[in-house]
Amino acid sequence: MDEILVAPYDPHWPELFRSLALPLRVALGPVALRIDHIGSTSVPGLAAKPVIDLQVSVATLEPTTPFRLPLERLGWRFRADNDDLTKRYFREPSGSRRTHLHVRRAGSFSEQSALLLRDFLRATPSRAAAYATLKHSLASLHAHDRSAYTEAKSPFIWETLHLADRWAQSTGWTPGPPDA
């Protein structure tokens, strides 16, 4: 298995997101209610595995045909073996840079929590810095075990979501306009 690499923030990540999102917007049209840059690469200054995460919000996850067929025509590979039932998961076209595409139901907890976590980390540099420190430590500890690395981040993520919820309540947070 590949070694887990946590890289310094790359200011080109938002540009990479946009280059990936534009063809999605064209192919999916109104089926994509939102297309957003999520995950650590979406937080300026945050160290991250250099993998762009895109979130496509749709009205419903079933049937998959309205989003699956256009994505597959673009070369995205549907991962039917994904065990997270709150999303449909696609991987990058063969030969492309590692990318994760998460299709989630608009308004669902999983869609909203990804946006809230991103926006809270953007607004709270001290929490983003603590997350970066944790990720570096866990990448060293679990260099070749992605499952252990991901699982070890869970308590921090849940605590951060709790803090983000309080922040959202105090600021009146709502998701802004989609990124694409």
Helix or strand run (H / E) with residue 126: helix 125-141
Under a CB-based contact definition with an 8 Å cutoff, are residues 67 and 58 in contact?
Answer: yes
Taking the C-alpha atoms of residue 1 and residue 58, their distance in angstroms, rounded to an integer, is 33
User: Which tens digits make up the pLDDT trace of 41-62?
Assistant: 999 999 999 999 999 999 999 9
The whole-number average pLDDT for the span 102-118 is: 98
Which percentage of the chain shows pLDDT scores above 90? 99
pTM, to two decimals: 0.95
The whole-number average pLDDT for the span 31-48 is: 98
Taking the C-alpha atoms of residue 12 and residue 177, their distance in angstroms, rounded to an integer, is 21
| Number of neighbours of residue 120 by Cβ within 10 angstroms | 22
In the predicted structure, residue 1 carries a pLDDT above the cut 70: no
Taking the C-alpha atoms of residue 66 and residue 89, their distance in angstroms, rounded to an integer, is 14
Under a CB-based contact definition with an 8 Å cutoff, are residues 4 and 149 in contact?
Answer: yes
User: Which tens digits make up the pLDDT trace of 7-30?
Assistant: 999 999 999 999 999 999 999 999
Give the chain's domains with CATH numbers: 13-171 (3.30.460.10)
The whole-number average pLDDT for the span 90-108 is: 97
